[in-house]
Structure 1
Amino acid sequence: MIRIKLDVMMAERKMSLNKLSELVDITPANLSILKNEKGKAVRFTTLDALCKALNCQPGDLMEYVDEEEDSE
């Protein structure tokens, strides 16, 4: 399972959902879906824009978690 850590990066950067949505040019509703791990996919252009706006690497926004280990 891929876990999205967008909320952590936003908190570290003290950036609101609305401000980030403006910078990335994505609706707050769609950004919220991504932030709350409800999305099924992320476009590379969106990932690129997020990394640019948050000054981070893709690995800062996502991590792989083994579902079996996560449930223990």
Structure 2
Amino acid sequence: MPIVVNLDVVMAKRKMSLNELSQRVDITLANLSILKNNHAKAVRFTTLEAICRALDCQPGDILEYVPEETTK
């Protein structure tokens, strides 16, 4: 998938655990884990906003576009 979630990187820089972020954002640990491990198919803007607020970051710090290699 060309969109990569760098949530674990931002959390490490902020020294915040998944449990702490889950409590601050009021999202289940399971759903946050799905997002962190790049298994999410979508993310709501309200969720992204809450994560950015809790981590004091921008959406671009968490989401990254990485083009897939094309086979020729």
Cα RMSD for the two superposed structures:
0.9
The aligned length equals 69
**In structure 2, C-alpha distance between the alignment counterparts of 1:49 and 1:23, rounded to whole Å:** 8
Secondary structure of the residue that 2:69 maps to in structure 1? helix
Structure 2 distance, partners of 1:25, 1:2, is: 24
Cα drift, residue 29 of structure 1: 0.6
Q: Which amino acid aligns with 2:7?
A: L
- What is the TM-score when the length of structure 2 is the normalising length? 0.93
Greater share of residues in helix:
1
**Aligned: 1:36 with 2:37:** yes
Per-residue CA deviations over 1:26-52 (Å, capped at 9, x if unaligned) read: 001100000000010000000000000
How far apart in 2 are the matches of 1:13 and 1:30?
20
User: Counterparts of 1:1-72 in structure 2 under 5 Å?
Assistant: 1-68=2-69
Give the secondary structure class of the aligned counterpart of 1:41: coil
Gaps of 5+ in 2: none
Task: Classify the secondary structure of the residue corresponding to 1:39.
Answer: coil
Using the size of structure 1 for normalisation, the TM-score is: 0.93
